[in-house]
Amino acid sequence: MLALKKLLLPVDYSDRTVMAAENAGFVARRCGSQVTVLHVKESRPHSEEEPFADRAEAVMHALKDVDATTVELPGNPAEVIVQYARDNGCDLIVMPTRGHTALRRFLLGSVTAKVVPTSSQRNPS
């Protein structure tokens, strides 16, 4: 069995986040993992947050019977996710992609596309 003691589940409370939470819950139950649900709040001037209470509840429901904690931090999502995973010894980051085309990801970027290459690099300490 894989030794996945700590899972990191970055969330933006989109529909795909709920699916990622279901997958994280499945892995955590099988491996006895702890799950940290991380919400990174970007500061955006004049932006209104989308109400996501129902999705937050769905995420936590997907993690029932799992040792899960929730953390909210400010900053650039990709940078905060990678740094949090490194600082806390996370064994696996579970996050969805939005399914955009390669061209759109290249032009607009995606948090997942930024996290994947940097999270797999060794910490330069």
Would you write out the chain's pLDDT as a tens digit for each of its 125 residues? 568 999 999 998 888 889 999 999 999 999 999 999 999 988 765 455 556 788 899 999 999 999 999 999 999 888 999 999 999 999 999 987 665 555 444 444 566 666 655 555 555 44
Q: What is the pTM of this model?
A: 0.77
Helix then strand then coil, % of the chain, to nearest 5? 45, 20, 40
Could you tell me if 1 and 27 are in contact, meaning their C-beta atoms sit under 8 angstroms apart? no
